[in-house]
A and B are shown apart, each in its own frame.
Chain A
Amino acid sequence: MKKIRGRLLLVLFLSVISLYLFIPSWPSVYNGIPDGFKWLIPPRGVSLGLDLQGGIHLVLEVEKDRAVEIAVDRAAKAMQDLLTDKDIAYETIERVGGVQVQLDVSEEGKVEEVAELIRDSFSSYFQASQEGRTLVFELIAPEVERIKNSAINQALETIRNRIDQFGVTEPLLQRQGRTEIVIQLPGVKDPERAKNLIQDTALLEFKMVDEDNETKLGLPLQVKRSEEQAVREKFADQVPEGSEILFESIQNGEDGMPEFSQPRLIRQGAVLTGDVLRDARVNYDDFSEIYVGVTFDSKGASEFGKITKANVGKFMAIVLDGTVYSVPRINEPILGGRAQITGNFTTDEANDLAIVLRAGALPAPMKTVQDLTVGPSLGRDSIEKGLKTTMIAGIIVLIFMVIYYRLSGVIADAALVLNLLCLLGALSGLNATLTLPGIAGIILTIGMGVDSNILIFERIREELRQGRPVRLAVDAGYEKAFLTIVDSHVTTLITGLALFVFGTGPIKGFAVTLCLGIAINLFTALIGTKVVFDLINRRKLERLSI
């Protein structure tokens, strides 16, 4: 009889532990606990998956080759600056192909000097060829590899910064393989905005407007967003070398208004880029127009001062990711190291712009490999319907068991409830994420729990039919069903483990609940109900209600 007490205590103990672990997942109870006692309760429970609470699952791939090109572009710009400093005239200095910079020096006599200068100052480039006045320098292979490898880490760091500032609870951000980044943002209300925030390269450039040629070209004053490409093609032949057409948004698509933009002729090559920014804040000007105020670091401030001093009276374009935000006229040299970015911002847009400017630019554009977005309403729908039907189905099964197996059915029902309680407690204790397939796994577990009891009961019935006394029939029933139950559970467990190890995403969530459920099932079916039957058997029953 002592053995019964031990098992009974074990069952009770597990129920209490499960209930305790489950409390944080049950908001109405958890919030009812006075704050002073909250430390007694585990802080985290089950979290809901993206399919149940809405959110974003993104897999992005860093375009590594672009990262190298951007680095080479930057070097080309630095070479221009160097030659300008040394008063050496050149025709063009630009990137050709992926990893080479081609320099066309004006005077043939200076070529040697230039080659030597570049060799001294750019140690990660070697001279690939020299022909007449043309020099070609190439980025060395190990440096190419280094840039590619650091691109993904930089991107990860930048995106992490942006998300932190955006304020998402429990974001998940991790590297996957050599080039991919997985981002999960549960519960995001405005998915489109969050995606833009993450994916904008946020390359801020200050460029000069090619004013002389712009008037000659006769660009239209405003075009629809959809016509931009056509305008670009129409003027492609007339655009002078060293300049390009970029578009300034003059009316965004809010309130159902059409989107308009103005084509501008902008000189290629930025005079200054966003990497010299120290800070970016949202502000309102005297007309309560919203703007983003940026502060340069000391190097940026002196550069900006120099540039504005040299270009007083001209127009400067502030370009972000290839779109012109505003084109202020430089009225006087700006020496304080501050600038304002105006545009047709909403408050959200201005906030997001400030965030991406503070967090810095991505080293290269990101390509979307996978994008799963679930709106909050669908998530709520799914959880309501999923839980409601699960409950209805569960109640039908409970009733069925009592009708079919009478009092023994009640014992089986108790085992089912215990089963569910332990499963929820375990999921809660492991801080597992509950998804729709996870709920399906729970349903399957309930099914298997019922099956175990049916197996046992049918066996007991068989024994009773053969005229065995109740006690022997129960023992024989359990004993004979035991191996069957173990075999069937282990085979399902093998499937579950294979799914867990090799499955991805939703399949994995399903596998977790299935494996846990099976383990708990074995316990409740073989020990939980048996102890109750053993208790009943102490009364030496003549008949069993089964």
Chain B
Amino acid sequence: MLEIVGKTNIDFMGKRQIAFGLSGVLVLIGLIAMIQIGRGAANLGIDFAGGTAVQLKFENAIGIEEARRALGKHGLHDAELQEFTRDNKLLIRMKTEGTIEQNIAEQIVQVFATEFSGNTFVVDSSTEIGPTIGYRLQQDALLAITISLIGIIMYVATRFELRFGVAAAIATFHDVLAVLGIYFILDKEITLLVVTALLTLAGYSLTDSVVVFDRIRENLRSRRRDSIAVIINKGINQVLSRTLVTTLTVVLVLVPLTMFGGEVLQDFSLALLLGVMIGTYSSVFVASPLLLAWPGGEGRLLSRGR
């Protein structure tokens, strides 16, 4: 029998102060990121902020500085440029306040056609989004997140007990905020696809918490005399090998996707990769300890296994 970890007996609950400290920092960064997004100061993708993005694929490589100069010469300042050197690709993004009637995408293409006439290129993609639609997408995404969180708390609360539902929801929120915070610090663009990844990892992190909770519930029924902390520890240790094996397989899937999935999938899978690792951590170190932090003490958990 090949095993990553054998039978373990680690005192996870004893380390919960350290874990809460670390998670506190992660959540704080995430909250700052949220506030910055609300203020419009974060690196929001144009699908949320509105604006123009054009991706060009050149015959020969082209430097970012050259490109910036060429755009500036034609009055297109404040462009954000990003190159994908492997394919000689250049991504030009402009966040515009007004409407998109000025047809900035076409202007950008024109600039490169005239300034780099020796270097032919094709337009890989061009995106123009009016600010109203960006706002609407933001609202939609927020609504979807809120509704799914409420649904999850309700489901877990009926299947287990309210404190399990709330703990799972907090752990999930913790994971989403942590990844958001990391993206904010790395100054990565938050696009619709990244939000999709965040929602996916919410589902994943939830699964993790539910698996651990399930085992804790089972133990609550069979081991009535142990303290809650001991029971929770036992549960986590029992599912530890599953937790690690699953995380390992998902990481095995996501690493090649992050590295070779192409520029479109890259940010998506990176967010998932971060999220899966944080989700594994939070199911052990955040969700379960939260059961103990519930006001009302240890004594009444699940009425001691109904």
Instruction: Report B-chain residues with C-beta under 8 Å of the C-beta of A455.
Output: 211, 242, 246
Contact with A along B279-302 (1 / 0, CB 8 A): 000000000000000000000000
Does A420 count as interface, using CB distance less than 8 angstroms?
Answer: no
Contact with A along B185-202 (1 / 0, CB 8 A): 000000011011101101
Please tell me which one of the listed residues B130, B207, B256 contacts residue A393 in the complex, with CB atoms under 8 A apart: B256
A498 to B262, CA, bound (A): 28
Does B227 count as interface, using CB distance less than 8 angstroms?
Answer: no
Does A510 count as interface, using CB distance less than 8 angstroms?
Answer: yes
Q: Are B128 and A447 in contact (CB under 8 A)?
A: no
Name the interface residues of B153-196: CB closer than 8 Å to any CB of A: 155-156, 159, 168, 192-193, 195-196
Q: Are B192 and A389 in contact (CB under 8 A)?
A: no
Does B35 count as interface, using CB distance less than 8 angstroms?
Answer: no
Does A458 count as interface, using CB distance less than 8 angstroms?
Answer: yes
A488 (CB) vs chain B CBs: closest residue: B207
Please tell me which one of the listed residues A370, A448, A484, A489 contacts residue B129 in the complex, with CB atoms under 8 A apart: A370
Contact with B along A370-383 (1 / 0, CB 8 A): 11111101100110
Q: Are B192 and A507 in contact (CB under 8 A)?
A: yes
Minimum Cβ distance to chain A for residue B217 (Å): 9
Does B11 count as interface, using CB distance less than 8 angstroms?
Answer: no
Q: Are A440 and B268 in contact (CB under 8 A)?
A: yes
Name the interface residues of A371-412: CB closer than 8 Å to any CB of B: 371-375, 377-378, 381-382, 385-386, 388-390, 392-394, 396-397, 400-401, 403-406
Q: Are A389 and B249 in contact (CB under 8 A)?
A: no
Does B105 count as interface, using CB distance less than 8 angstroms?
Answer: yes
Instruction: Report B-chain residues with C-beta under 8 Å of the C-beta of A447.
Output: 204, 246, 249-250, 253
A386 to B264, CA, bound (A): 9
Determine chain B's interface SS by DSSP, over half rule.
Answer: helix
Please tell me which one of the listed residues B101, B105, B206, B253 contacts residue A488 in the complex, with CB atoms under 8 A apart: B206
Name the interface residues of A498-521: CB closer than 8 Å to any CB of B: 498-499, 501-507, 510, 514
Whether A495 contacts B206 in the complex (CB less than 8 A), given A375-B123, A396-B256, A454-B245, comes out as: yes
Name the interface residues of B111-157: CB closer than 8 Å to any CB of A: 117, 122-130, 132-133, 137, 140-141, 143-145, 147-148, 151-152, 155-156
Q: Are A484 and B210 in contact (CB under 8 A)?
A: yes
A-B contact count (CB 8 A): 222
A507 to B197, CA, bound (A): 9
Instruction: Report B-chain residues with C-beta under 8 Å of the C-beta of A390.
Output: 257
B127 (CB) vs chain A CBs: closest residue: A372
Does A528 count as interface, using CB distance less than 8 angstroms?
Answer: no
Minimum Cβ distance to chain A for residue B264 (Å): 5
Instruction: Report B-chain residues with C-beta under 8 Å of the C-beta of A392.
Output: 256, 260
Q: A373-B125, A546-B1 are in contact. List 12 more A-B contacts (CB 8 A).
A: A373-B105, A377-B57, A386-B265, A436-B193, A450-B246, A454-B245, A465-B7, A490-B155, A503-B141, A507-B140, A510-B200, A514-B200
Residues of A within 8 A of B (CB): 51, 59, 191-192, 256, 367-375, 377-378, 381-382, 385-386, 388-390, 392-394, 396-397, 400-401, 403-406, 436-437, 439-441, 443-444, 446-448, 450-451, 454-455, 458, 461-462, 465, 480, 483-484, 487-492, 494-499, 501-507, 510, 514, 546
Q: Provide a sorted-by-A list of 8 A–B residue pairs whose CB atoms are within 8 angstroms.
A: A381-B262, A385-B260, A386-B264, A440-B265, A444-B203, A458-B245, A491-B206, A506-B193
